[in-house]
Structure 1
Amino acid sequence: MYREVFIKKEYMAKAKKNQTATQDFSKYIRWFWKLFLGGLLIVLFAFLLASWGVFGEMPDHTVLENPKTNLATEIISSDGKTLGKFYFNDNRTPVSYEELPQNLVDALIATEDARFQKHSGVDARGTLRAMLTLGSGGGASTISQQLAKQLFHGEGSSNIIERVLQKVKEWIIAIRLERQYTKEEIIAQYFNIYDFGNNADGIRSASRIYFNKEPKDLNLKESAMLVGMFKNSSLYNPRRNPVGVKNRRNVVLAQMYKYDYIDEKLKDSLQNTELDLDYSPESHREGIATYFRGYLDGFMKEWIKNNPKPDGTKWNLYNDGLKIYTTIDSRMQKYAEDAVEQHMPRLQAEFFHQNTPQRNPTAPFLELDQNEITDLLNRSMKQSERWRHMKYDLRKDDKEIIESFQKPIQMSVFAWKDGKPSEIDTIMKPMDSMRYYKSFLRTGMMSMDPQTGHVKAWVGGMNYRHFQYDMVKQGKRQIGSTFKPFVYTAAIDQLHYSPCDQFPDTPFCIEAGKFGNPEEWCPKNSGGDYGGQRTLKDALANSVNTITARLIDKVGPQTVVDLAKKLGIESQMLPVPSIALGTPDISVYEMVGAYAAFANQGVYTKPVMVTNIEDKNGTILYQFKPETRDVISEETAYVTVKLMEGVTQSGSGVRLRGKGADAYRADYREIVTGYPYEFTNPIAGKTGTTQNQSDGWFMGMVPNLVTGVWVGGEDRAVHFPTITYGQGAAMALPIWGLYMKSCYADKELNVSKEDFVAPENLSINIDCSQMSSQDLDKENEKPKDLEF
């Protein structure tokens, strides 16, 4: 019995102990659920507080619809190419999902978010994995979360609490983004927002800068490289770390194989290839049409000043994502720049050859003594950017600035190397560098459609980084004999002269007092040659000064000035007889616009550079209106054109008809006796050379394209010593010839080889070959003089 009692007591004790243990365990369960539910409530409450903006401002519905990103203003050519952009920090031009190649999208999803199509902003499985592995198995941020981070709160804080709160905000924004946008729109936004380094903001800039192509043209390995940069574009920079970038690209390719986007054979073959970059930096001083973009910067700032937004605020040229549609043809612009690059180093080599210290102790200047050179350099010093910066930004006194120009410093200077623009790192005094730069010949070139006024090519110099002064519109130089067609036109218009009319090529003077001339003016022919009777066609072709003087004596200088102004010449022109030989300083821009009226049947059309301006949504903000005016009759324009055709048939421009091998020596010095252009089509033109060979010009026209070229030194004292190389036919004409050869080779441009259009009722005889000597005598007996 005692045993039974003991067993019963032991049983009761055990039961009590088990009951106590059960009670203790249920206590833990209750605590677990309390903690779990409490934690869940805290998380939910945290999410609620975050969505209310308690932990920082959250984007509302309207902000999510229009996230604020800085967009570069894009400059677009007439053939749809991007010439360049205006931006401060963000070189970003967005693209749509449809403009992204499928391999780029596949690479992104395989690498960054394999379940992108299945979640709604937050990947629960990935988040749980990241929590359990403490991130060692990879992060859990979806593409939507990464976009939220990029758009609205940037890099995470080092404080763990702040990082958690930022992650909460990131989740909320990601979910809202998924509700606001389609999956495709999220992918496009993510590609558009990312900074790929080297001014490559967004996928469009990245594809253009690293591979010189549009995003839609990226191949698989290029897409993989760019997606690989999403991990860290500073670390995986293909210019600084090509090995690391290649390894990262191969990881992306492996991920694409893992998720069945590519097969193993393709993966292995691509992983063994190099990056094959085609680095094409996009900056304000590099790329195509730099001088034109410099002009456009001023044009846009003036337009913005006078055209506010609908709300009255000003447009921001660098952040508002405007689109500027221009008349520049990217192909013709490239041909023009190539022509300059082909000719100028050869011409420059000859200039250096003739201006060694042994041949010219004052090189690169001629006709100046040392005091004059010192004065010239001192004036240039005070006009320099270095002087302006030290004087007005750094507040230095004149003595200190002058001393700084005599202290050697490290610098990179321009040089032609193997016929290409280059830079040389050197140590040089700033004053010596000014003299060095003055030794380089400069150039300006513009090409325009005479019917529409659309400017097709604009080359303001050789290298915008080192020579920023634009010699198309900003610079003005003496134009020499290219002014003579205006004198001939006035004579044809006023006196009904024919190209077949003859005048004596003998010394001629306009007496003092006539036309307000203070003293007698007696121009001489180049070389002092005279040659009996000449037709007007022959006189213009050979640029005979005495006959041009006879013509201005008959029509009067004021008539010529008035005509030039109607033809768009805005520069100052004094109505004196010497204007006939081209004494005014006029820009290439003005001259091309004026000559275009001859090819356009006497109608002046103001040059056009911008056709439309749109905002980022495609709303048209500006549309150009053509400005035209009738200046001369169709007949007068046509007769002038036929006169200028003589320049390329038998005059100073005849080398355009030349045949033969390339006329350049191995050391890039030019032989001017032969040219490989071989043009056979009608070309009207005029060369121009100023006193001492300081300026060389060529104006050339075909029916649908007028192009002007100027070449010369920064200072008039920088020039060739003789006419052999210093004439317009040697300095400027070759650029025109090389450019036109390229334009004609590109059949898509449709540059005309046809005759100029003749008026229906032509009353002036233009065919001198059909006239007998008696006819010529009768023609010259016609009373055509005007009284003054």
Structure 2
Amino acid sequence: MKKIKPHFIKYGAIAFLSAIALILLFFLSVYFGAWGALPKKAELSDFKYQRASEVYTADSVLIGKFYLFDRQPITFEDFPQHLLEALVAIEDQRFYNHSGIDYTSLMRVAVKTVLMQDQSSGGGSTLTQQLAKNLYPRRDRKKTNIAVNKVKEMIIAARLEDLYSKEEILTHYLNTVSFGDNVFGVESASLKFFNKRTIELTVEEAAVLVGMLKATYGYNPRVFPENSLSRRNLVLQSMYSNEFISESQKDSLTEIPLTLDYKEYDHNSGLAPYFREEVRKQMLKWAKAQKEEGNDYNIYTSGLKIYTTLNYKMQAIAEDVMKGHMQSLQKSFEKSYGNNAPWKTDKNLLEKLAKKTPAFQKLKKNGLAEKAIMDSLARKKKMTFVDWDGEKSVEASVLDSIQHYMKFLNTGSLAIDAKTGAVQTWIGGVDFEHFKYDHVAQSKRQVGSTFKPIVYTAALEIGIEPCTYFSAQEVEYKNLKGWSPSNSGEKDEAYLNYSMEEALSNSVNTVAVKVLEKTGIENVIVQAKNMGIFSELPRQPSLALGTGEIYLNELAGAYASYVNGGKAVYPYLIQEIRNQKDSILEHFEPKRARKRAFSEENRQIMIEMMKSTINSGTASRIRSSYKLNNAIAGKTGTTQNNKDAWFVALTPKLVHVTWVGLDNHEIGFRSTSLGQGANAALPLFALWMQKLNKDPEFDEITKAQFKRPSFSVLDKLNCEPVKRDGFFKRLFKNPNKKKEFRTRNSKA
């Protein structure tokens, strides 16, 4: 055997020591910041990560989040033991024995992965090093910087081990680790994939989430269920190998199929998206006001807990009912027009709408002529169209898209607590993702006959008795360009005289205008303001027919005065705001009008009148078709050319308002039978109430009764509903001739 020559030993030793020196020099260069500053212990001892703010219903169901990064940190006590065991078993078996760096694993990596090129041997990063990477993500992922990043993470890991206990390191790790899809932390992941809190995770569910950490996309259980199942079972095997579970447990858990309860906390989807968007807007205002007072809260990063007034089950039922009714109504609407639909034949309307689009405005700004712009908008490309049957990929142009969406019926509905104004349900439209406009808080529409109760209330307040009779004969207003409100009732209506109760319950237009004329427009407008209507109202006799444009939530608050002792309420959405430590930052009290808008006697009279609307008037299908026996008062409404359908329902506990129509004001329902409030809007309440009736949880609401009216109220309403003109009056009256009249109230 040849002896190794001394100079080879010498050079070998020099090379080895030089390598050691270079490694040490490299390490020191990283340590002292030559490759970028490292966080000091002071910074590591007080690091903060962004937390999502959570939105809850009144019954404490999480329905949404506001975040830049979807993260909800929890405490160590909120981690089930089997989650921690699964994590340690698969990611860092010697976690409790090392001080941030696992030298045994490093040697394995050096020999197997580097020298032997065995990529299956695994990595050498400890959980503490992974935490360091979570807190200070690698900005440069080039291969030449891998060594620098690894050394940085080792140094940070050592500092973290000096500062924190093993429990605290696990807590920080599980609260910061990414699960893909902008989800950070195990609590957010647990809610997303299993719709439950981390503490509620089963062993196999915990294994699924821990298994994702190796490759958040490749092992995503929603995208790649087979990969996820295989990885889950590998985690369970590791738990068995590390004696965290028995062999029988491992075998039985491995047999359990992969089952998800996936819940996307996406801004566009989930329960009550329009409501959540309004909450977001109000929270931004709140945060701005807080900042002016020196409190720096950010709704996307401060981890606030926002408790709203919404009733989870009521809202879920309302959305389910809305989808069913609106889908059916849409089919009937399109069928009624057939091939003569304005979205198919009215080129002027199409051009008008096209000119309002951002695409048109952008091309116009670039100097293109209108014809060239329209030609450009007519070019077809791949698009996704959405309807009630779902999404479909089509070859279409911008003009095709306008035609497709201009025909869609939309809706807005709101249910509030009649005493406080607390919002119970809120539906701003048919589909938040594609129709962002909120018809509860943003849309002002003509309210039609739902304004008539305010007119009649004003009449009662100035002393007009409820048994005063008004002729139904049509009148022509000479100083209003011959404007002549009409009815769609009986042919001999000109001979009929209605009591106020009968006229209101059957929504007789001619009588409503005459009641307004006798009451005075200014008195009606004052009455409306006293009831919480803040929108500007037209000073015209047509106000009696609801030509004023009012917000839906504004109308709901006004109607609440009929149930709330004559005082209007102001619908509100947020009950309480808490910080991440669950301390109350602000509690919101209901806002009510300070003064009564009308007397108690007149309140009772109006309730009785609106009961008649339900029992025998325009909303009688509540009883006949939907078989609802609840205590309900209300009013239907339909605007000119059937463009807006309304229904307001009053119960002893709730006010429910519904609107149905098109965003495009130029198009209405083709027929009154289809587009009237009783057909288009009323079912959204009736079907909802039917479902509430079947659930004992809502008995306090559904079985509540109005208080019996006083004897004086019953006496004042005790009259014939309709009186027919006498023989001689009918003999000399021409029913086809309109009575001419000059209004004294109009400011035209």
Deviation of 1:744 after TM superposition, in Å, equals: 3.6
Task: Please tell me whether the aligned partners of residues 422 and 590 of structure 2 are also in contact (alpha carbons under 8 angstroms).
Answer: no
Deviates more, 1:521-530 or 1:682-691: 521-530
Q: Which residue of 1 aligns with 2:273?
A: 290
Q: What does 1:399-478 align with in structure 2 at a 5 Å threshold? A: 401-417=373-389, 422-478=390-446
Q: Which residue of 1 aligns with 2:554?
A: 590
Deviation of 1:550 after TM superposition, in Å, equals: 2.9
Q: Which residue of 2 aligns with 1:77?
A: 57
Q: Which residue of 2 aligns with 1:738?
A: 687
| Pair 470,385 (structure 1): closer, same or farther in 2 beyond 3 Å | farther
Q: Which residue of 1 aligns with 2:623?
A: 657
| Pair 54,618 (structure 1): closer, same or farther in 2 beyond 3 Å | farther
Q: Which residue of 2 aligns with 1:122?
A: 101
**CA separation in 1, counterparts of 2:308 and 2:681?**
26
Task: Please tell me whether the aligned partners of residues 601 and 638 of structure 1 are also in contact (alpha carbons under 8 angstroms).
Answer: no
Q: Which residue of 1 aligns with 2:714?
A: 766
Task: Please tell me whether the aligned partners of residues 509 and 520 of structure 1 are also in contact (alpha carbons under 8 angstroms).
Answer: no
Pair 1:330-2:312 in alignment: yes
Q: Tell me the amino acid that sits aligned with residue 410 of structure 2.
A: R
**CA separation in 2, counterparts of 1:400 and 1:116?**
68
The structure with the largest alpha-carbon Rg is 1
**CA separation in 1, counterparts of 2:468 and 2:311?**
43
CA displacement 1:612-661 (0-9 Å, x = unmatched):
34454556555435432222333332322222111111112222223xxx
Deviation of 1:343 after TM superposition, in Å, equals: 0.6
Deviates more, 1:398-407 or 1:535-544: 398-407
**CA separation in 2, counterparts of 1:627 and 1:752?**
25
Q: Which residue of 2 aligns with 1:350?
A: 332
Pair 1:544-2:544 in alignment: no
**CA separation in 1, counterparts of 2:490 and 2:237?**
80
| Pair 404,567 (structure 1): closer, same or farther in 2 beyond 3 Å | farther
Q: Tell me the amino acid that sits aligned with residue 579 of structure 1.
A: L
Task: Please tell me whether the aligned partners of residues 604 and 713 of structure 2 are also in contact (alpha carbons under 8 angstroms).
Answer: no
Deviation of 1:40 after TM superposition, in Å, equals: 8.5
Taking structure 2 as the reference length, the TM-score comes to 0.86
Pair 1:491-2:464 in alignment: no
Q: Tell me the amino acid that sits aligned with residue 448 of structure 1.
A: I
Q: Which residue of 1 aligns with 2:704?
A: 754
For 2:714, what is the secondary structure of its paired residue? coil
Q: Which residue of 2 aligns with 1:611?
A: 575
CA displacement 1:657-683 (0-9 Å, x = unmatched):
23xxxxxxxxxxxxxxx33xx321211
Q: Tell me the amino acid that sits aligned with residue 355 of structure 2.
A: K
Q: Which residue of 1 aligns with 2:89?
A: 110
**CA separation in 1, counterparts of 2:641 and 2:490?**
15
For 2:629, what is the secondary structure of its paired residue? coil
**CA separation in 1, counterparts of 2:370 and 2:38?**
55
Q: Tell me the amino acid that sits aligned with residue 375 of structure 1.
A: N
Q: Which residue of 2 aligns with 1:64?
A: 44
Deviation of 1:310 after TM superposition, in Å, equals: 6.6
**CA separation in 2, counterparts of 1:345 and 1:123?**
61
CA displacement 1:455-479 (0-9 Å, x = unmatched):
1211111111222221112112221
**CA separation in 2, counterparts of 1:239 and 1:399?**
48
Q: Which residue of 1 aligns with 2:728?
A: none
Q: Which residue of 1 aligns with 2:538?
A: 574
CA displacement 1:413-447 (0-9 Å, x = unmatched):
12112xxxx11211122112212212121111111
| Pair 464,121 (structure 1): closer, same or farther in 2 beyond 3 Å | same
Q: Which residue of 2 aligns with 1:340?
A: 322
Deviates more, 1:239-248 or 1:591-600: 239-248
Q: What does 1:152-191 align with in structure 2 at a 5 Å threshold? A: 152-154=136-138, 157-159=141-143, 162-191=145-174
Task: Please tell me whether the aligned partners of residues 93 and 205 of structure 1 are also in contact (alpha carbons under 8 angstroms).
Answer: yes
Q: Which residue of 2 aligns with 1:376?
A: 349
Aligned CA RMSD, in angstroms, stands at: 3.6
Q: Tell me the amino acid that sits aligned with residue 336 of structure 1.
A: A
**CA separation in 2, counterparts of 1:508 and 1:553?**
14
| Pair 431,66 (structure 1): closer, same or farther in 2 beyond 3 Å | farther
**CA separation in 1, counterparts of 2:357 and 2:74?**
42
Q: Tell me the amino acid that sits aligned with residue 408 of structure 1.
A: K
Deviation of 1:763 after TM superposition, in Å, equals: 7.2
| Pair 492,385 (structure 1): closer, same or farther in 2 beyond 3 Å | same
Task: Please tell me whether the aligned partners of residues 355 and 364 of structure 1 are also in contact (alpha carbons under 8 angstroms).
Answer: no
**CA separation in 2, counterparts of 1:60 and 1:566?**
63
Deviation of 1:239 after TM superposition, in Å, equals: 3.9
Q: Which residue of 1 aligns with 2:135?
A: 151
Deviation of 1:701 after TM superposition, in Å, equals: 1.6
Task: Please tell me whether the aligned partners of residues 496 and 764 of structure 1 are also in contact (alpha carbons under 8 angstroms).
Answer: no
Deviation of 1:731 after TM superposition, in Å, equals: 0.4
Identity across aligned pairs (percent)?
A: 36
Deviates more, 1:116-125 or 1:592-601: 116-125
Deviates more, 1:145-154 or 1:64-73: 64-73
**CA separation in 1, counterparts of 2:224 and 2:81?**
27
Q: Tell me the amino acid that sits aligned with residue 289 of structure 1.
A: A
Q: Which residue of 2 aligns with 1:669?
A: none
| Pair 547,399 (structure 1): closer, same or farther in 2 beyond 3 Å | closer
Task: Please tell me whether the aligned partners of residues 601 and 635 of structure 1 are also in contact (alpha carbons under 8 angstroms).
Answer: no
Which 5+ residue runs of structure 1 have no aligned equivalent? 1-20, 659-673, 777-786
Q: What does 1:612-691 align with in structure 2 at a 5 Å threshold? A: 612-618=576-582, 622-629=586-593, 630=595, 631-658=597-624, 674-675=625-626, 678-691=627-640
Q: Which residue of 2 aligns with 1:15?
A: none
Q: Tell me the amino acid that sits aligned with residue 423 of structure 2.
A: V
Q: Tell me the amino acid that sits aligned with residue 344 of structure 1.
A: M
Q: Which residue of 2 aligns with 1:523?
A: 485
**CA separation in 2, counterparts of 1:246 and 1:436?**
43
Task: Please tell me whether the aligned partners of residues 428 and 438 of structure 2 are also in contact (alpha carbons under 8 angstroms).
Answer: yes
For 1:682, what is the secondary structure of its paired residue? coil
**CA separation in 1, counterparts of 2:720 and 2:490?**
27
Task: Please tell me whether the aligned partners of residues 309 and 315 of structure 1 are also in contact (alpha carbons under 8 angstroms).
Answer: no
**CA separation in 2, counterparts of 1:172 and 1:593?**
62
**CA separation in 2, counterparts of 1:706 and 1:62?**
56
CA displacement 1:496-522 (0-9 Å, x = unmatched):
634xx141443154865xxxx645654
| Pair 187,382 (structure 1): closer, same or farther in 2 beyond 3 Å | farther
Deviation of 1:53 after TM superposition, in Å, equals: 4.1
Q: Which residue of 2 aligns with 1:553?
A: 517
Task: Please tell me whether the aligned partners of residues 47 and 172 of structure 1 are also in contact (alpha carbons under 8 angstroms).
Answer: no
Deviation of 1:32 after TM superposition, in Å, equals: 7.8
Task: Please tell me whether the aligned partners of residues 648 and 657 of structure 2 are also in contact (alpha carbons under 8 angstroms).
Answer: yes
Q: Which residue of 2 aligns with 1:695?
A: 644
CA displacement 1:342-368 (0-9 Å, x = unmatched):
1111111111222221xxx24458xxx
Deviation of 1:574 after TM superposition, in Å, equals: 1.2
For 1:443, what is the secondary structure of its paired residue? strand
**CA separation in 1, counterparts of 2:650 and 2:40?**
60
Q: Tell me the amino acid that sits aligned with residue 491 of structure 1.
A: A
| Pair 252,401 (structure 1): closer, same or farther in 2 beyond 3 Å | farther
**CA separation in 2, counterparts of 1:202 and 1:229?**
12
| Pair 395,272 (structure 1): closer, same or farther in 2 beyond 3 Å | farther
Deviation of 1:703 after TM superposition, in Å, equals: 1.8
**CA separation in 2, counterparts of 1:244 and 1:102?**
25
CA displacement 1:91-130 (0-9 Å, x = unmatched):
2232333333333332212211223334333334434444
Q: Tell me the amino acid that sits aligned with residue 122 of structure 1.
A: I
Q: Tell me the amino acid that sits aligned with residue 143 of structure 1.
A: L
Q: Tell me the amino acid that sits aligned with residue 557 of structure 1.
A: I
Pick aligned residue for 1:479 from 447, 450, 457: 447
